[in-house]
Structure 1
Amino acid sequence: MALTDEQPAVPRPDVTPHGHGLRLDRWDLDAEAHVEAWLRGRTDPEFRRWNTPLILETDLAGARAAMVRQREQAAAGACAPFRITDAERGTTLGHIGVNMIDRTFRTARVGYWTLPEARGRRVATRALALAADWAFTELGLYRLELGHALGHDASCRVARTCGFAYEGTLRGAMFEAGRQDAFRDVHLHARLATDPSPDLDRVLARG
């Protein structure tokens, strides 16, 4: 990808990255099933084990409010949230977002979660590969970062498989599970637009 001095593009809502059996669609606030899936994912014990949002959603109203905040940030160009779906059936499998978009330094932070029934199928790996390629080509970003709590080995494997190199450990960079008065370390991974793209099809074929 050629590098220029131009600012990254604003995410277009009509663009839905797809491939590897997935489609990255938009969350629809008017679709009750979307709000329910969001709440189920964000209240899942495995999600709460590794993430402590500033505002914890506990009911549909809280989930919808969180989705509204996300939509407002997306409209401002600060993030690009996607609903991970099965390409054939349209079933919601999880969420992935290109967040904290910095248009000056052309960087962003990627985060994701999957619903319990989607785990063990490399959904996060496939979604991250799609989102990264989209961010580099559609938004013109140069650096994508991915951070996960120390000990989250599954997320570490996802990052490495998708070409996000481990760059070090950030001390006390995120909240402990279920707390906002204690902190834990974070593994930092990153991928540059100039890094070689991983051969994901070959990786997935190995099972």
Structure 2
Amino acid sequence: MSRTDERPAAEPHGHGLRLCTWDADSGADVEAWLRGRGDPEFRRWNTPMPWDESFEGARESLRRRAESDAEGKTVAFRITDAESGLTLGQVGLSGIDAYMRRAVVGYWVLPEARGRRVATRALDLAARWTFTELGIHRLELDHVVGHAASCRIAELCGFPAEGIMRGAAFDEGRHDAFRDAHLHARLADDPAPEGI
């Protein structure tokens, strides 16, 4: 059995953060998920398949994500402040391919946590965990062309740009039009970034 088939119970932590599982039965978790995915800046750069327009819709979205996590298709982490436990955002894996040892990572941060390097620190934690605990060799990250903040975060965390993927993301707020995305990737044997 590969390491990607055995999900460790330990929560990644460091850089003043702890990455925890989301709890669809927690009102606070559902509220944070709804606020994060409903934030105008999130919606500017992301168009998820279903929008979470209500508290119950967000709860159902978290339940579906937990089922996907249990099936080994994804891993979703709630980014929290290690000291206070306050939710700061989300970092997660999708497209997990245990055979090819490849996965895709994505993240978002609540408005009040922006500008504090939360995304950078959480991405680094998630990447290190993915390489060591899941045995992934290639971790990909993509973001819509023009999202300069995501580009900087990726490069700070050792994900150099590899090119442009044409028509790889939905256009803002639409499911019938597409826009280009930058592709970044970090390999398990790449040098670890410094100064995170």
Give the TM-score range, shorter chain: over 0.9
Instruction: Measure the CA separation in 2 of the matches of 1:11 and 1:94.
Output: 25
Residues 135-150 of structure 1 mapped to structure 2, 5 A cutoff: 135-150=130-145
TM-superposed CA distance for 1:15, in Å, is 1.4
Q: Out of 83, 88, 98, which is 1:88 matched to?
A: 83
Kindly indicate whether the alpha-carbon contact (under 8 Å) linking 1:9 and 1:140 is maintained by their aligned counterparts in 2: yes
Q: Percent identity?
A: 61
Instruction: Measure the CA separation in 1 of the matches of 2:49 and 2:83.
Output: 35
| 1:114-169 Cα deviation digits (max 9, x unpaired) | 00000000000000000000000000000000000000000000000000010000
Q: Out of 112, 115, 120, which is 2:107 matched to?
A: 112
Q: Out of 44, 47, 71, which is 2:39 matched to?
A: 44
Q: Where in structure 1 are there 5+ consecutive unaligned residues? A: 1-5, 202-207
Other-structure match for 1:79: 74
Q: Out of 55, 59, 62, which is 1:64 matched to?
A: 59
Q: Indicate yes or no: 2:124 matched with 1:129.
A: yes
Instruction: Measure the CA separation in 1 of the matches of 2:6 and 2:111.
Output: 29
Q: Indicate yes or no: 2:20 matched with 1:28.
A: no
Other-structure match for 1:3: none
Kindly indicate whether the alpha-carbon contact (under 8 Å) linking 2:8 and 2:133 is maintained by their aligned counterparts in 1: no
Kindly indicate whether the alpha-carbon contact (under 8 Å) linking 2:7 and 2:134 is maintained by their aligned counterparts in 1: no
Q: Secondary structure at the match of 2:163?
A: strand
Other-structure match for 2:167: 172
Change (3 A) 1:146 1:11: farther
Instruction: Measure the CA separation in 2 of the matches of 1:136 and 1:41.
Output: 27
Kindly indicate whether the alpha-carbon contact (under 8 Å) linking 2:143 and 2:181 is maintained by their aligned counterparts in 1: yes
TM-superposed CA distance for 1:8, in Å, is 3.5
Change (3 A) 1:112 1:8: same
Q: Secondary structure at the match of 2:5?
A: coil
Q: How many residue pairs align between the two structures?
A: 196
Other-structure match for 2:48: 53
Kindly indicate whether the alpha-carbon contact (under 8 Å) linking 1:52 and 1:179 is maintained by their aligned counterparts in 2: yes
Q: Where in structure 2 are there 5+ consecutive unaligned residues? A: none
Q: Secondary structure at the match of 1:63?
A: helix
RMSD: 1.1
Q: Secondary structure at the match of 1:125?
A: helix
TM-superposed CA distance for 1:7, in Å, is 2.9
TM-superposed CA distance for 1:28, in Å, is 1.0
| 1:15-48 Cα deviation digits (max 9, x unpaired) | 1000001000111111100000000000000000
Ranges of 4+ aligned residues in structure 1 off by more than 6 Å: none
